[in-house]
């Protein structure tokens, strides 16, 4: 099954960034993991932690292990985290990602085991043990991250950066006001954005700029690899509306190719109650004290070309 040998790329290593990906696979989470697993010369993946979101936790953690098996990166530990939001009841997105969370793929069940340790504890323990040394990529509801911050407020100063997929400068996707990750756990999003931690926010306004169009999906199939066919199958299923947006993948791409992105320091407030729960109010530049760098634009064509090139590394 191993589809990838990091050793082939080790000589290219320049300054590697140590990261932890906190995710709810989920089809776009899966593509984000595949991109990260295919980039060992830039990214040292300390751990993958999982959270309930797109589908319940027992599926998100198993899906993370299935993708890890596909990528042949069994040395990266996968941990299960919070099975539900801090206060609200869990709301999933089966209609988008399918009941399994990775519909459109015919991946076998996970062969590799789940690592011991609750995902939120792993975030807190690993990041406090390496102050300034680990970048966190949360691409699901922020429940695990908020849990770690509640247990150890110093986490906000110890984490090197939090590169999050969530929110929007404009309308939502699960309600007119709120994006899915922030809507599922708005209290967690509020805790993270009020924590003082360094945050780079990839909201719908920028992730909707990168869409897997039919010709790009066809180029995946043309790779004639298990990863190419699996990714094409998932994205074809995921195409609930006009060409699926590669939301979570942008956070990994931002670490690999920051020159493709532009954003501004802004004040972001999270609505936690009522009809607009989960809404991210992104204030204009200069309005309030910034608590995040909000991504505004990306070179989508260059991003997709480089993503395809990285996915082509899998044999």
Closest distance to ligand RIB from the beta carbon of 128 (Å):
26
Asked if 29 touches Ca ion (CB under 5 A), the answer is yes
Active site residue 118: no
Closest CA to 167 of 146, 145, 185: 185
Closest CA to 193 of 269, 265, 120, 124: 269
Of 207 and 293, nearer to ligand RIB (C-beta) is: 207
| Alpha-carbon 121 to chain mean position | 19
Asked if 172 touches Ca ion (CB under 5 A), the answer is no
Asked if 139 touches ligand RIB (CB under 6 A), the answer is yes
Asked if 26 touches ligand RIB (CB under 6 A), the answer is yes
Q: How many CB atoms lie within 10 A of CB 310?
A: 17
* Listed ranges 9-17, 95-103, 240-248, 273-281: which one lies at the site for Ca ion (CB under 5 A): 240-248
Secondary structure percentages of the chain, helix, strand, coil, to 5: 40, 15, 45
Asked if 34 touches Ca ion (CB under 5 A), the answer is no
Contact residue for ligand RIB among 3, 6, 21, 24 (CB under 6 A): 24
Of 203 and 263, nearer to ligand RIB (C-beta) is: 203
* Listed ranges 24-32, 77-85, 189-197, 230-238: which one lies at the site for ligand RIB (CB under 6 A): 24-32
* x/- track of binding to Ca ion for residues 115-154 (CB under 5 A): ------------------------xx--------------
- Residue carrying structure tokens 């899915």: 180
Q: How many CA atoms lie within 13 A of 37 on its CB side?
A: 31
Gap between the Cα atoms of 284 and 281, Å rounded: 10
């Amino acid at each position: 099954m191993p589809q990838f040998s990091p050793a082939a790329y080790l000589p290219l290593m320049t300054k590697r960034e140590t990261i932890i990906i906190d995710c709810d696979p989920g089809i776009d989470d899966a593509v984000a993991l595949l991109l990260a697993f295919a980039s060992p010369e830039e990214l040292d993946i300390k751990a993958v932690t999982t959270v309930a979101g797109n589908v319940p936790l027992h599926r998100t953690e198993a899906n993370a292990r299935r993708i890890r098996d596909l990528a042949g990166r069994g040395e990266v530990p996968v941990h299960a985290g919070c099975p539900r939001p801090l206060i609200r009841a869990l709301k999933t997105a089966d209609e988008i990602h399918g009941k399994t969370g990775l519909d459109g793929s015919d991946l076998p069940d996970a062969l590799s085991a789940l690592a011991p340790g609750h995902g939120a504890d792993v975030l807190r323990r690993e990041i406090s043990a390496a102050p300034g040394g680990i970048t966190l990529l949360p691409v699901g509801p922020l429940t695990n991250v908020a849990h770690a911050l509640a247990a150890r407020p110093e986490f906000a100063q110890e984490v090197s950066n939090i590169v999050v997929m969530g929110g929007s400068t404009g309308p939502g996707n699960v309600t007119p006001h709120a994006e899915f990750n922030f809507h599922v756990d708005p209290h967690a999003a509020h805790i993270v954005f009020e924590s003082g931690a360094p945050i780079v926010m990839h909201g719908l306004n920028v992730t909707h700029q990168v869409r897997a169009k039919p010709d790009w999906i066809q180029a995946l199939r043309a790779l004639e690899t298990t990863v190419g066919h699996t990714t094409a199958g998932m994205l074809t299923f995921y195409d609930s509306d006009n060409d699926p947006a590669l939301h979570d993948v942008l956070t990994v791409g931002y670490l690999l190719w920051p020159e493709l992105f532009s954003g501004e320091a802004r004040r972001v407030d999270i609505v936690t109650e009522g009809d607009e729960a989960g809404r991210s109010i992104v204030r204009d530049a200069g309005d309030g004290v910034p608590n995040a760098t909000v991504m505004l634009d990306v070179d989508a064509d260059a991003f997709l070309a480089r993503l395809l090139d990285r996915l082509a590394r899998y044999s």
